Amino acid sequence: MKLKRRKGGSMNYLIVGAGLFGATMAHKLAKAGHQITIIEKRDHLAGNIYTKEVAGIQVHQYGAHIFHTSNEEVWQFMNQFAEFNHFINSPFAFSRGKLYSLPFNMSTFYQLWKLTKPKEVQAKIDEQRQVLHGKKPENLEEQAIDLVGTDIYETLIKEYTEKQWGRKCSELPPFIIKRLPVRLTFNNNYFNDKYQGIPIGGYTKMVEKMLDLPNITVHLKTDFFAKKEDYLNNYDKIIFTGMIDQFFDYKYGPLEYRSLRFEHEVLDEANYQGNAVINYIDAKYPFTRIIEHKHFEFGQQEKTVITKEYPANWQKGDEPYYPVQTPENAALYQKYCQLAKDYPNVIFGGRLGMYQYFDMHKVIEAALNVAKQELAQ
């Protein structure tokens, strides 16, 4: 691939994948005057944040997506394309026949221990974390016990996490659980960020607006790998948001991912569970959570749509959702990064291209940073 500037410095970019990373890059590069072609193997835009209207309700087709950020630049950027409502994420967990408030807050501790004072809760957690004898947590199980003690770990974390990741908590890295907020207040807002909400009218409409520029062309149902060499030869630069290991034909073997399966159901009732998200902790439930989509937009429709989310082992050909970031996979990813150096005109981005467990705002932040570097050249 030769790097060739066109008249007026304009370049031809191919973006592989119409998810949030690809759409952000497309918008920024197109605004700077470049010609953008997007190819997407699915039959729709927006990647995993795709929403579809069913029974008058915006249904999150690939699981719950709640936008949150404290990054002013990211928030201002997204507000060009959508108005966000004031939805606050306050999920519940159903464990052993009882409902518990999430994230872990004074309500949760009251529900479990009947304690009402923060200092009593802190003393209880301190007492329970003694089982670690002060050692630095080396896996998720130890990290969880260090954060919230053994009772919360056994009741609300262990079975859910093992179901979600398909391996024992003692085999998972500790950083996964660090995303989990623990509060000695009655604040049950899952996120600490300054901004939070759901785009009114859904995420798909938002992404459509991002790509609504005359120098952006989109081709759906188009597989990069069907004509990989042609694409590499015919574009000045490629932004690839698929799996980095697949790009290199799994030369060193596949990286590890988790997959998901979604079961959507339209119910002839107005309100199924009274909350947008309820996690099902016990191993006896094969799904990890039930989402009731209308509550994301405070819907008053006569019917409701629920989604059961089932975790699944990933095999080649399955849809990858989460990178499994063990030390072994991190080392394998670095080997693929070395191969990527031989392709200076290919930029790898997004969850799969960067092999990172990104939330939406982090994907946008990463894309904005890459776009800045690209436009500074």
Across 256-271, average pLDDT: 97
289 included as an active-site residue: yes
Distance CA(198)–CA(246), nearest Å, equals 32
Task: Burial-class residue 42 by CB neighbours within 10 Å (0-12, 13-18, 19+).
Answer: middle
Out of 151, 179, 207, a domain closes at 179
Res 141 pLDDT > 80: yes
Q: What is the C-alpha to C-alpha distance for residues 84 and 198, in angstroms, rounded to an integer? A: 5
User: How crowded is the C-beta side of 31, counted as CA atoms within 13 Å?
Assistant: 14
Catalytic residue among 142, 231, 289, 336: 289
160 included as an active-site residue:
no
Which amino acid makes up residue 247?
F
Helix, strand or coil, per DSSP, at residue 178: helix
Confidence (pLDDT) at 257: 96
Q: Point out the catalytic residue in the list 309, 333, 336, 374.
A: 309
129 and 163 in a common domain: yes
Mean pLDDT of the 162-171 span: 94
Of the residues 179, 204, 235, the one at which a domain ends = 179
- Residues 45 and 175 occupy one common structural domain: no
Query: Where does the pLDDT of residue 8 fall: very low under 50, low under 70, confident under 90, or very high at 90 and above?
Result: low
Q: Does residue 64 sit within a domain?
A: yes
Number of structural domains in the chain: 2
Domain membership of residue 226 (yes or no) is yes
Res. 4: pLDDT tops 70: no
Give me the CATH number covering residue 203: 3.40.50.720
State mean pLDDT over 104-133. 98
Does pLDDT of 137 surpass 90? yes
Q: Does residue 137 lie in a domain region?
A: yes
Containing H/E element for 332? helix 327-340
What's the pLDDT band for 181 if we cut at 50, 70, 90? confident
Residues 226 and 201 in one domain: yes
Residue 278 inside a domain? The answer is no
Rounded Cα distance between 180 and 190, Å, is 8
> How does pLDDT run across 93-103, given as a tens digit for each residue?
999 999 999 99
pLDDT of residue 2: 43
3-state secondary structure of 60: strand
Q: What does the alpha-carbon distance between residue 115 and residue 40 come to, in Å, rounded to a whole number?
A: 52
Q: What is the mean pLDDT of residues 336-365?
A: 97
Whether 128 and 55 map to the same domain: the answer is no
- DSSP symbols for 233-246: HH-SEEEE-S-HHH
Instruction: Give the pLDDT band of residue 1 (cuts 50, 70, 90).
Output: very low
Q: What is the pLDDT of residues 303-338, one digit of tens each?
A: 999 999 999 999 999 999 999 888 899 999 999 999
Residue tagged active-site, from 5, 43, 179, 268: 179
42 catalytic per annotation: no
Query: Per-residue pLDDT for 214 more than 60?
Result: yes
Task: Report the alpha-carbon distance of residue 91 to residue 102 in Å, rounded.
Answer: 5
Of 80-89, 107-116, 173-182, 309-318, which range is least confident? 173-182
pLDDT mean across residues, the chain: 96
Q: Is 309 part of the annotated catalytic residue set?
A: yes
Q: How far apart are CA 121 and CA 101, in angstroms?
A: 15
For residue range 196-206, list pLDDT tens digits in order. Answer: 999 999 999 99
Range of the domain at 97: 92-179
**99 and 164 share a domain?**
yes
pTM: predicted TM-score of the whole model, two decimal places: 0.95
Beta bridge partners of 293: none
Name the residue with higher pLDDT: 125 or 181: 125
Residues 224 and 79 in one domain: yes
Contact yes or no for 221/18 (Cβ under 8 A): no
Q: Which of 179, 206, 237 is the last residue of a domain?
A: 179
**Going edge to edge, which strands form the sheet with 12-16?**
216-219, 35-39, 12-16, 237-240, 346-348
Tell me, yes or no, whether 96 and 76 share the same domain: no
pLDDT in tens, 276-300: 999 999 999 999 999 999 999 999 9
Strand partners, 278: 92, 290
Alpha-carbon dihedral 120, 124, 130, 135, rounded to 10 degrees = -80
50 a catalytic residue:
no
pLDDT of residue 3: 46
Quote the pLDDT of residue 377. Answer: 86
Give the C-alpha distances (Å, rounded to integers) separating 232 from 44, 157, 237, 251.
24, 45, 8, 18
Out of 120, 151, 154, 359, pick the active-site residue.
359
User: Do 52 and 174 belong together in one domain?
Assistant: no
pLDDT tens sequence across 9-67? 899 999 999 999 999 999 999 999 999 999 999 999 999 999 999 999 999 999 999 99
In the block, tokens 């188009």 appear at 222
Q: Which of 40, 190, 258, 280 is catalytic?
A: 258
Active site residue 179: yes
Are the C-beta atoms of residues 340 and 368 closer than 8 Å to each other? no
Residue 183 bears catalytic tag: yes
Query: What whole-number distance in Å separates Cα of residue 107 and Cα of residue 102?
Result: 9
Sign of CA dihedral 228, 229, 233, 236: positive
Spatial distance between the Cα atoms of 361 and 363, rounded to a whole number of angstroms: 5
Q: Which of 129, 183, 245, 292 is labelled catalytic?
A: 183
Q: Are residue 65 and residue 174 in the same domain, yes or no?
A: no
